[in-house]
């Protein structure tokens, strides 16, 4: 029986590996790397490089979208300081998945999915809501999932360890990186205050 063609929006190799293995059972999977949110550009290149290597080893097609960071920034800018799991993230999901659906439509794919729900930092319902909106708009299927469940995140970490993947320390956008650094500095300051009481 012929499998449906699935375009899998992919942000990095660590997130892609387990999700690809799950979906490959039922679909003819191609990956789509479209992530203009990732900054700085060196980080973008590093994540893409890891994914290219993995796709070559596993022999699945990988397509790469434009790095239109300026347009992405303008789209999320009104919500840039709202933090993780906020409207900023929802707009980011919509922006990236919209371009994924567009590519899928223009290249005769049957359905779209995303690896993003594998992350414990991402709200799967927000991602699925974005996908539901867009599937109506584009007339394609969307695979709703929370890939972190059923031990999915742990398995992705194990695959990453075996493959020697670079694992990033923040979501990707400049705002999440700033928030991570601020949180780390706050923890260091608190620790110092405990170590050296006045």
pLDDT of residue 188: 54
Residue with tokens 């991570």: 180
pLDDT of residue 170: 84
Q: Are 111 and 4 in contact (CB under 8 A)?
A: yes
pLDDT of residue 197: 39
Report, as ranges of residue numbers, the positions in the chain whose pLDDT lies below 50: 189, 191-194, 196-198
Question: Which residues lie below 8 Å from residue 22, measured CB to CB, with a gap of 6+?
Answer: 147, 152
Q: Are 83 and 179 in contact (CB under 8 A)?
A: yes
The torsion defined by the Cα of 124, 130, 133 and 138, in degrees rounded to 10, comes to: -110
pTM score, two decimals?
A: 0.89
Pairing of strands 62-64, 4-10: unpaired
**Nearest Cα residue to 5 out of 123, 126, 127, 109:** 109
Q: How far is residue 126's CA from residue 146's CA, in Å, rounded to a whole number?
A: 11
**What is the assigned CATH class of domain 4-195?**
alpha beta
pLDDT of residue 186: 57
pLDDT of residue 181: 82
């Amino acid at each position: 029986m012929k499998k449906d063609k699935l375009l899998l929006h992919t942000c990095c190799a660590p997130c892609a590996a387990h999700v690809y293995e799950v979906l490959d059972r039922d679909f003819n999977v191609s990956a789509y790397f479209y992530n203009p949110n990732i900054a700085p550009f060196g980080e973008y290149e590093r994540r893409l490089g890891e994914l290219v290597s993995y796709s070559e080893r596993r022999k699945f097609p990988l397509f790469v979208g434009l790095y239109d960071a300026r347009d992405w920034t303008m789209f999320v800018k009104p919500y840039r300081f709202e933090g993780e799991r906020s409207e900023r993230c929802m707009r980011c999901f919509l922006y990236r998945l919209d371009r994924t659906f567009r590519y899928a439509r223009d290249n005769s794919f049957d359905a779209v999915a995303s690896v993003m729900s594998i992350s414990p930092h991402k709200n799967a319902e927000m991602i699925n809501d974005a996908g539901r909106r867009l599937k109506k708009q584009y007339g394609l299927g969307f695979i709703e999932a929370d890939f972190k469940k059923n031990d999915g995140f742990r398995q992705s970490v194990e695959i990453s360890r075996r493959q020697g993947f670079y694992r990033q320390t923040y979501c990707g956008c400049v705002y999440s990186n700033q928030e991570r650094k601020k949180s780390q500095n706050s923890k260091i300051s608190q620790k110092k205050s405990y170590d050296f009481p006045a």
